[in-house]
Structure 1
Amino acid sequence: MTVRAHFFASSAENPDVRAQITGVVTADRLGGTFGAAVAARSAKSVTQSAIAGYLKAWTEEDASTSVGAYQGPVKVCVGEHDPFLTEQVSRDHIMAIYPGADFESLSGAGHYPPLETPPHTAAVFNAFFGSQTI
């Protein structure tokens, strides 16, 4: 396991690591209090095994074959300041699975748009879902 992988894996049991990761994926724009709050919320609401499972799914599994057959409406959003799930990564990987998806870069947000820019994120999704007929 690489040092980076070990660091991320340790976040399942260490809220301080989760807080550090939150800082990284928000480009450290929101300060340590934001990272600590996100870590505290996750410690209260998500089990360690769930976090470990999420990490494994995000880093080791390929869900594209199971989700690619979906034909309904898709909205792909990426925070403009997310240093990992960037616009280019999203276009190269997610839009390849859902070529007809509606894509939007969310201004002012990093990796957690609903927490970082809640009114803007809600407006984007309300507009999208309000325009859909399923």
Structure 2
Amino acid sequence: MAKGFDIVGDGAHTVIAVHGWLGSAGAWRPLVPHLDTATFRYVFMNLRGYGDRRGEPGEHTLAEAATDVLAVADALSADRVSLVGHSMGGAVVQRVLADAPDRVRSLVGISPVPASGVPFDDEGWALFSGAAANPGHRRAIVDLTTGNRLTGVWLDAVVRHSLDHSDERAFADYLLAWAKTDFHTEIEGNPVPVKVIVGEHDPALGEQTMRQTFTQWYPNCAVDVLANCGHYAIDETPVALATSLESFLREVP
């Protein structure tokens, strides 16, 4: 693994994947066995403060993260790439599109945060803003966003991964970045091919939210709703996710 990212596959189509708030580059591992590594070159990167970039200084903003995504593309001599973002990573890849539209071949959001951010009521904000210092809050968030239907053993594993692979400060900073940043007017009307893949049990970033945001802003946007899935399709339905993802990527010009 090079500093900051892991490469899987050697295909001609480069795909850079950006993890979610409770993830890391390593959180994509359940998906990897199901990917077409002959057609695609997948690059799973860590944001600053995550994975092997823990302890690295940064401001932990969407703009900074987008700059880092482009730096990875440059390091791989990839002029145009497809971008995949899970949850918070979905906001990051849209920021890349806003900043460097000529570099983006296509965009896929997996339960992605819209470019308008996410509205919270007081109770929700207390839960999420307390998650940096409180593992119990992280567990409650994972349980909530998957429909309160999955085994506690898995919930605990997601929380443990998050604690082991992210800095507390970075985790806190990124919440403000993805929840409170609105740049949707910068991407509105962009003709890039877009697909959003969501779970039927995701209460906040599900189909309704995508119809109110992504499909309103991107004229070439498709929505796929995965059955028996919440916010963490990478873990919950990896085969279905790989199928949906690559059926789209194969059609990208």
State the TM-score bracket (shorter-chain normalisation): 0.7 to 0.9
Residue deviations 1:29-74, cap 9 Å, x none?
Answer: 1122221111111112222223223321332221313333643221
1:2 shift after superposition: 2.5
The residue type equivalent to 1:62 in the other structure is D
1:105 shift after superposition: 0.8
Structure 1 counterpart of 2:22: none
Structure 1 counterpart of 2:107: none
State how many pairs are aligned.
133
1:75 shift after superposition: 0.7
Gaps of 5+ in 1: none
Contact 2:127 2:141 in 1 (8 A): no
RMSD over aligned CA atoms reads 1.8
Relative to the length of structure 2, the TM-score reads 0.49
Contact 1:78 1:106 in 2 (8 A): yes
Match of 1:17, SS state, is: helix
Q: Which structure has greater strand proportion?
A: 2
Contact 1:23 1:31 in 2 (8 A): no
> Are residue 118 (structure 1) and residue 238 (structure 2) matched?
yes
The correspondence for 1:18, drawn from 138, 141, 166, is 138
The correspondence for 1:92, drawn from 192, 208, 212, is 212
1:104 shift after superposition: 0.8
Structure 1 counterpart of 2:201: 81
Contact 1:25 1:82 in 2 (8 A): yes
> Are residue 29 (structure 1) and residue 134 (structure 2) matched?
no
Percent identity of the aligned residues? 35
Q: Which structure has greater helix proportion?
A: 1
Alpha-carbon distance in structure 1 between the residues aligned to 2:135 and 2:226: 27
Contact 2:214 2:221 in 1 (8 A): no
Contact 1:12 1:48 in 2 (8 A): yes
